[in-house]
């Protein structure tokens, strides 16, 4: 019989194994020690899975916020450069410092 490898398969396999061990606890009392360790690992498996899901959800929210802030920053950068063109004039060489190409005589 092949051992399960995916998370869902391992999770289901361990869950069923623990249920079978519980059902046969009286008939095979030696299972108690191994079952206790497997229960501890199963609990940690569940906790880590929940934590991973929370991190994934947080990552998605942060990605959305990052996208929004990036767009706002780009808009504000454009507004600032437009203001500088207005304030300094289109031909002022000082504009170069702000990555705005000045109009130069042809």
Per-residue pLDDT tens digits for 13-67: 999 999 999 999 899 989 899 999 999 999 999 999 999 999 999 999 999 999 9
CA angle 62, 11, 7 (to 5 degrees): 50
Asked whether the whole model's pTM tops 0.85, one would answer: no
Contacting residues for 103 by C-beta, under 8 A, at least 6 apart: 90, 91
Q: Give the model's pLDDT for residue 19.
A: 95
């Amino acid at each position: 019989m092949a051992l399960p490898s995916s998370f869902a398969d391992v999770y289901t396999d361990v869950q069923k194994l623990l249920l079978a061990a519980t059902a046969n606890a009286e008939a095979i009392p030696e299972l108690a020690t191994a079952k206790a360790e497997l229960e501890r690992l199963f609990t940690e498996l569940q906790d880590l899975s929940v934590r991973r899901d929370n991190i994934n959800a947080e990552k998605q929210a942060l990605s959305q916020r990052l996208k929004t802030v990036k767009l706002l920053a780009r808009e504000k950068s454009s507004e600032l450069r437009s203001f500088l063109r207005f304030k300094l004039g289109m031909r002022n060489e000082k504009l170069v410092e702000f990555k705005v190409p000045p109009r130069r005589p042809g």
